């Protein structure tokens, strides 16, 4: 019997279908990410992704139908409840965040301030893995999933103080280069001050951020270890200037270090190594 090429043709069709499906999936994820960043109109999404408005509209309608987005007339599209549920599951399934959570909750009850957990990424930033709002009646701009230059935050500086000093200037320069894009009004210290601060932090075991990431906010932070001498994460206590005078930073230093060490031991770290 003559080979008509049926199976080969089907194989090519299958590949094209798979590629189209992958493209649709990636576009859908891009839409969710952009809406999560505050881009709420079909027109803006279409222009940003360079995809026809009809295609964006069709995909958004499907995402709304499945609960991943919801629509507010005359205001636009926003992340839906299904994504909130997935986000909570993702946080719980991360070993680090799941292990740290009970300790962070206990620390939050003790100090009443905002508590953060963050981990370094591969691109010179730190990502917020968890956040517990304080009970003092104010909100910070930080949120789970947000990334910021590692040298700009107390969390990041707690990571840096466990690295070789030769690496500090690289992260500092990167943070300075990103300031113009952040529009927070916060300013980093000069590099000599930054270097001196990290050197002292290595000696005392904790560091702090004095309005370097967010105007009106101070925080004290400590590194979290698993194996080795370089931190895998950091935790912080943050509050407004009136609730976080400089003398309180010194009082909270040992508190944050003890909490970080408890989490570290749960991750298999031992300070006797």
In a domain, 21, yes or no: yes
Say what the pLDDT of residue 23 is.
81
CA 107 and chain centroid, separation: 20
Q: Kindly report the CATH number assigned to the domain that includes residue 63.
A: 1.10.10.10
In this predicted structure, what is the pLDDT of residue 88?
A: 67
Q: Is the pLDDT of residue 137 over 50?
A: yes
Look at residue 111 and tell me if it is in a domain.
Answer: yes
Tokens of 226: 């698993």
The answer on 194 and 76 residing in a single domain is no
**CATH code for the domain in which residue 156 is found:** 3.30.450.40
Distance (Å, whole) CA 208 – CA 257 = 12
Within this chain, do residues 162 and 261 fall inside the same structural domain, yes or no?
yes
In this structure, is residue 166 part of a structural domain? Answer: yes
Of 144, 190, 186, 151, nearest to 36 by C-alpha is 144
Instruction: Answer yes or no: do 79 and 98 share one domain.
Output: no
Q: For residues 236 and 146, which has the higher predicted lDDT (pLDDT)?
A: 236
Domain that includes residue 14, residue range = 6-83
Q: Which run of H or of E encompasses 120? A: strand 114-120
- Mode of pairing for the β-strands spanning 147-149 and 207-210: unpaired
Residues 116 and 244 in one domain: yes
Q: Where does a domain end: 54, 83, 112?
A: 83
3-state secondary structure (DSSP) of residue 154: helix
Kindly state whether residue 89 falls inside one of the protein's structural domains: no
Q: Do the beta carbons of residue 156 and residue 142 sit within 8 Å?
A: no
Query: Do residues 134 and 178 share a domain?
Result: yes
- Whether the pLDDT of residue 171 is over 80: the answer is yes
Question: Domain check: are 64 and 99 in the same one?
Answer: no
- 208 and 101 within one domain: yes
Evaluate whether residue 271 is within a structural domain: no
My answer on whether 28 and 102 are in the same domain is no
Q: What is the pLDDT of residue 273?
A: 46
Please give the pLDDT value at position 16: 60
- Flag whether pLDDT at 79 surpasses 50: yes
For residues 179 and 122, give the distance between their C-alpha atoms in angstroms, rounded to a whole number.
19
pLDDT of residue 6: 47
pTM greater than the 0.85 cutoff:
no
Number of Cβ within a 10 Å radius of residue 246: 10
191 and 115 together in one domain: yes
Q: Are residues 166 and 255 in the same domain?
A: yes
Number of domains observed in the structure of the chain: 2
Indicate if 188 and 228 belong to the same structural domain: yes
Per-residue pLDDT, averaged over 123-147, amounts to: 86
Q: Which two tokens stand for residue 127?
A: 């990502």
Residue after which a domain boundary falls, among 16, 48, 83: 83
User: pLDDT digit string (tens) for 95-111?
Assistant: 888 899 999 999 999 99
Question: How distant, in Å, are the alpha carbons of 185, 198, 220, 238 from that of 172?
Answer: 17, 12, 19, 21
136 and 39 both lie in a single domain: no
Asked if residue 78 belongs to a domain, the reply is: yes
Residue 188 lies in a domain: yes
* 27 and 49 Cβ atoms separated by less than 8 Å: yes
pLDDT digits (tens, 9 = 90+) for 13-66: 555 655 667 788 888 889 988 988 888 889 999 999 998 999 999 999 999 999
What is the per-residue pLDDT for 261? 95
Q: Is 243 helix (H, G, I), strand (E, B) or coil?
A: coil
1 assigned to some structural domain: no
Confidence check: pLDDT of 183 > 60 = no
pLDDT at 134: 86
Residues 6+ apart with CB under 8 A from 134: 108, 111, 112, 113, 114, 115, 238, 239
Boundary residue ending a domain (48, 83, 118): 83
């Amino acid at each position: 019997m003559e080979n008509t090429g049926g199976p080969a043709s089907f194989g090519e069709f299958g590949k094209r279908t798979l590629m189209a499906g992958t493209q649709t999936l990636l576009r859908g994820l891009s839409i969710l990410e952009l809406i999560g960043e505050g881009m709420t109109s079909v027109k803006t999404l279409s222009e940003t992704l360079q995809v026809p408005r009809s295609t964006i509209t069709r995909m958004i309608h499907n995402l709304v139908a499945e609960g991943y987005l919801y629509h507010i007339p005359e205001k636009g599209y926003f992340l839906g409840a299904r994504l909130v549920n997935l986000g909570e599951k993702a946080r719980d399934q991360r070993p680090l965040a799941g292990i740290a959570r009970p300790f962070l909750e206990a620390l939050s009850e003790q100090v009443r301030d905002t508590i953060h957990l963050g981990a370094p990424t591969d691109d010179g930033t730190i990502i917020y893995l968890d956040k517990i709002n304080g009970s003092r009646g104010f909100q910070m701009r930080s949120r789970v999933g947000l990334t910021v230059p590692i040298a700009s935050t107390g969390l990041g500086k707690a990571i840096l103080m466990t690295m070789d000093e030769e690496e500090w200037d690289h992260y500092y320069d990167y943070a300075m280069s990103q300031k113009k894009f952040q529009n927070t009004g916060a300013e980093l210290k000069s590099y000599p001050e930054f270097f001196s601060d990290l050197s002292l932090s290595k000696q005392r075991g904790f560091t702090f951020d004095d309005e370097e990431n967010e105007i009106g906010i101070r925080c004290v932070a400590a590194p979290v270890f698993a194996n080795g001498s370089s931190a895998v994460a950091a935790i912080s206590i943050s509050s407004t200037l009136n609730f976080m005078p400089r003398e309180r930073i010194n009082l909270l230093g040992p508190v944050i270090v003890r909490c970080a060490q408890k989490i570290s031991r749960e991750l298999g770290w031992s300070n006797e190594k």
